[in-house]
Amino acid sequence: MEIRARAPGKIILAGEHAVVHGSTAVAASIDLYSHVSLRFLGGDEGSIKLSLKDMNLEFSWDLRRLENTLSETDGQFPHPSSLRAYSLEFIQAVASLVDEQSIPEAKIGLSAGVSAFLWLYIQILGFKPSVVTVTSELPLGSGLGSSASFCVSLAAAFLVASGSVTLDSRSAGWAALGEGELELVNKWAFEGEKIIHGKPSGIDNTVSTFGNVIMFRSGELTRIKSSMPIRMLVTNTKVGRNTKALVAGVFERSRRHPDAMASVFSAVDSISKELSSIIQSPVHDDISITEKEGKIEELMEMNQGLLQCMGVSHSSIETVLRTTLRYKLASKLTGAGGGGCVLTLLPALLSNTVVDKVIAELESCGFQCIIAGIGGQGVEISSSDHS
Ligand SMILES: Nc1ncnc2c1ncn2[C@@H]1O[C@H](COP(=O)(O)OP(=O)(O)OP(=O)(O)O)[C@@H](O)[C@H]1O
Ligand SMILES: C[C@@](O)(CCO)CC(=O)[O-]
Ligand SMILES: [Mg+2]
């Protein structure tokens, strides 16, 4: 039996970083996914295997060795429906089992993801032999929520395999999960994100789990129904960075300047709330889509200015901002910044000729442009009986 899960990446329309400090943020799923496939192996196969297909990397852990090392550290496994927050001791033991796999130095950033995999697996499925294959359509470490979609798709596949999340056997192809089941997936994925990010707000795993456009504050999500089409150009500067370090940098800045940073976070909170009310408010004669787009553009520029205040912009991001401004288009970074991806609003009346020109100019700088579908379904599952 093969269990497959896919979970979307995301864009943050407003509020990244400030959301970690309690402000409101607005995010939407995008139609680029992480995919996980899980197959249990026969009893004499004494290992858990992880294949990261896109990177051509394979890892394998001997089950007896895993059991000896980890059972000493943290009691009984598995416990899929009763989530336990991770203990530092247990995660250190997991990290040392990952270090033994000798990940190539150039890809050392993956070790956090592999630790999250092993932690989720043992907690949810215990010491069952299997092979897990992961592929991702998302660029890793670029602000599109690759870490969250990785954790959400793993948690969903493992919970279905454990039997604590059940599938409607009548549905063929991709199937959505019920609300309570999504909540369980989201809680597990959040623990995985903690291993990768250090101190995540939970917005990325929440939007990857539930999909749609959401407003998020202090762990609470509100689904938003947009009354207008939102078309965003996503430009990947291809400048690598990691969210954990950027989030830590903002914490340090706010320790140095608590009052000033509190005002910055409060301004971002207002921007996110205003943005969500603009995209939800009905379109009628006195507020046209063009007028709404003008307001959104201004809010994006203000949010970008505040992200600069937080110290998370980058010269590559500034190049994208300058380039798109020449076409009178507004942009802001999305995700953790420091490189990674930038969003540019493409107004409904903007001609395709102009879109093509902007893309050509951005790509001539070495950036990569994507126009992703926004606000689709969250995590989905599919299972098949062939072995
Ligand atoms: N498909 C994958 N396989 C293994 N590890 C992954 C995968 N996707 C993400 N990761 C882990 O997540 C890390 C990237 O996460 P990070 O949070 O820094 O960036 P992001 O999630 O792409 O961007 P953001 O958090 O700004 O949205 C990788 O270095 C790796 O450890
Ligand atoms: C930078 C951040 O706000 C968003 C990363 O996509 C971190 C988080 O909320 O966990
Ligand atoms: Mg991330």
Average pLDDT over residues 182-210: 97
Average pLDDT over residues 158-187: 89
CB of 253 shorter than 6 A to ligand 1: no
- DSSP-assigned letters across all residues of 51-106: EEGGGTEEEEEEHHHHHHHHHHHH-----TTS--PPPHHHHHHHHHHHHTT---GG
CB of 145 shorter than 6 A to ligand 1: yes
**Identity of the residue numbered 101:** Q
* CB of 175 closer than 8 Å to CB of 167: yes
CA 111, CA 117: separation in Å to the nearest integer? 10
pLDDT at 386 over 70: no
Strands 25-40 and 130-136: antiparallel
Q: What is the pLDDT of residues 324-379, one digit of tens each?
A: 999 999 999 999 999 999 999 999 999 999 999 999 999 999 999 999 999 999 99
- Angle among Cα 190, 195, 201 to the nearest 5 degrees reads 45
Binding pocket residue ranges, ligand 2, CB within 6 Å = 12, 16-17, 19-20, 145, 197, 200-201, 203-204, 243, 247, 335-336
Specify the DSSP class assigned to residue 378: -
pLDDT of residue 178: 95
Select the more confidently predicted residue: 7 or 69.
Answer: 7
Q: Which of 152, 167, 157 is nearest to 125 (CA)?
A: 157
What tokens were used for 272? 């996110």
CB of 143 shorter than 6 A to ligand 1: yes
- For the CA of 20, the closest atom of ligand 2 is 9
If DSSP codes are grouped into helix, strand and coil, which group holds residue 300? helix
Q: pLDDT band at 17, cuts 50/70/90?
A: very high
CA 342, CA 167: separation in Å to the nearest integer? 37
pLDDT of residue 285: 62
Q: Looking at the chain, how many residues does it have? A: 387
Measure 292 CA to ligand 1 centroid, in angstroms: 33
What tokens were used for 374? 């926004």
Mean pLDDT lowest among 71-75, 194-198, 263-267, 307-311? 71-75
Ligand 3 (single-atom ion) residues, CB below 5 Å: 147, 243
Q: What is the pLDDT of residues 119-171, one digit of tens each?
A: 999 999 999 999 999 999 999 999 999 999 999 999 999 999 999 888 766 66
CA 15, CA 334: separation in Å to the nearest integer? 9
Question: How many angstroms separate the Cα of 321 from the Cα of each of 237, 325, 332, 351, 352?
Answer: 11, 6, 7, 20, 20
Site of tokens 């809680």: 187
**Identity of the residue numbered 349:** L
Q: Which of 150, 208, 342 to mutate to test the pocket of ligand 1 (most atoms within 8 A of CB)?
A: 150
Q: What is the pLDDT of residues 233-285, one digit of tens each?
A: 999 999 999 999 999 999 999 999 999 999 999 999 999 999 999 999 988 76
CA 383, CA 168: separation in Å to the nearest integer? 10
Q: Which residues are catalytic?
A: 204
Q: pLDDT band at 387, cuts 50/70/90?
A: very low
pLDDT at 73 over 80: no
Average pLDDT over residues 98-107: 90
Radius of gyration of the chain (CA): 21
Site of tokens 């530092």: 88
CA 321, CA 297: separation in Å to the nearest integer? 12
Please enumerate in sequence order all residues whose Cβ is within 8 A of that of 311, keeping only pairs 6 or more positions apart, or say none: 249, 250, 253
* CB of 340 closer than 8 Å to CB of 143: yes
pLDDT at 24 over 50: yes
Q: pLDDT band at 87, cuts 50/70/90?
A: confident
* CB of 160 closer than 8 Å to CB of 80: no
CA 73, CA 90: separation in Å to the nearest integer? 6
Query: pTM of the prediction?
Result: 0.96
pLDDT of residue 253: 98
Looking at the chain, list the stretches that DSSP marks H as alpha helix, in order from N- to C-terminal side: 63-74, 88-99, 110-125, 146-162, 179-197, 203-210, 243-256, 258-280, 289-310, 315-325, 352-364
pLDDT of residue 74: 60
CB of 337 shorter than 6 A to ligand 1: no
Provide the CB-side half-sphere exposure for 296 (13 A, CA): 31
* CB of 153 closer than 8 Å to CB of 35: yes
Measure 45 CA to ligand 3 centroid, in angstroms: 33
Q: What is the pLDDT of residues 286-334, one digit of tens each?
A: 668 999 999 999 999 999 999 999 999 999 999 999 999 999 999 999 9
Select the more confidently predicted residue: 84 or 51.
Answer: 51
